[in-house]
Amino acid sequence: MLRVGLIGYGTIGKDTAQYIMEKKAGNVELVSILVRDMSRVQSDLPQEVFCDQPDEFFAKDLDIVVEGAGHHAVQLYAERALTSGSDFIVSSVGAFNDQSLLDRTLKAAEEAGKRLIVPSAAVGGLDRIAAGAVGPLDEITLKTSKPPKAWFGTAVEEQVDLNNLTEPVCVFEGNARESSRRFPESVNVSAALSLAGLGLDETKVQVFVDPNINRNVHEIFAAGKFGEIRLQIQNTPSPNNPKTGYIVAMSIAKVLKNLSTNLVIGC
């Protein structure tokens, strides 16, 4: 049985913990959850599972550490998780718009003999994109559209009147490195897609606020030696955090299952 630790107990962390406890994440044990403030934890899980001291968390002999706490958590803990002897599953992939952070993390993984694991999370088709990149790939584009409620608390509030929007508005057009830097909580999909394919600087991204939708929609086009792929994903936003969707924790549970059971699907 693999020993798992979670960083963060927000929407992603709570859903991932639930899937583990419900035995939907394979043959894994939830050993510890690292939070910023123990006094704010509200959970039916045993209190001893939680800690707010990184030294205590990383001393738990964890096989896998799952990040679900944002870009800053990746910056703080990606290398440490790997050097402590754990594989590291990252949900806030956009943190790797910082090339030096990505380089250091990959070096730490290599030296420790561990893996940096990027789940499909809110996007789809990463297995096909990664396979196509062998070919090589010629082009990848991503169009991300989210309803206004997903953009409150972000820089988009300064660009658009979210309360009175009546038609879709493009709030960004550029590459994935810049989109993941500008929207750290909302466009992690562009970074994941980039790492699977052409890289952050060559992946084209458009970002829309759309008052006519109630789901987070990602439309992908990729072309290369393998042929073409056109894919549309519509994710149901979490009621607790409309910037993310249920599928993110589901995807992490699927990765844990792949790592801990004998049948591996979708690699």
- The tens digit of pLDDT for each residue in 106-138 reads 999 999 999 999 998 777 788 889 999 998 899
Q: Give the helix, strand, coil percentages of the chain, each rounded to 5.
A: 40, 25, 35
Instruction: Kindly state the percentage of the chain with pLDDT values over 90.
Output: 72
- The tens digit of pLDDT for each residue in 145-182 reads 999 998 998 889 889 999 999 999 999 999 998 888 88
For 126-243, which CATH superfamily applies?
Answer: Dihydrodipicolinate Reductase; domain 2 (3.30.360.10)
Which 3 state secondary structure label does DSSP give 39? helix
| Closest of 172, 125, 124, 174 to residue 151, by C-alpha | 172
Mean pLDDT, rounded, for 64-91: 96
For 2-121+247-260, which CATH superfamily applies?
Answer: NAD(P)-binding Rossmann-like Domain (3.40.50.720)
CB 101 within 8 A of CB 95: yes
| Closest of 150, 207, 154 to residue 178, by C-alpha | 207
Same topology, domains 2-121+247-260 and 126-243? Answer is no
Q: What is the pLDDT of residue 72?
A: 95
- The tens digit of pLDDT for each residue in 218-245 reads 999 999 999 999 999 898 877 877 777 7
Q: Is the peptide bond before 136 cis (omega within 30 degrees of 0)?
A: yes
- Per-residue pLDDT band at 186 (split at 50, 70, 90): low
| Domain regions of the chain by residue span | 2-121+247-260, 126-243
Active site residues: 218
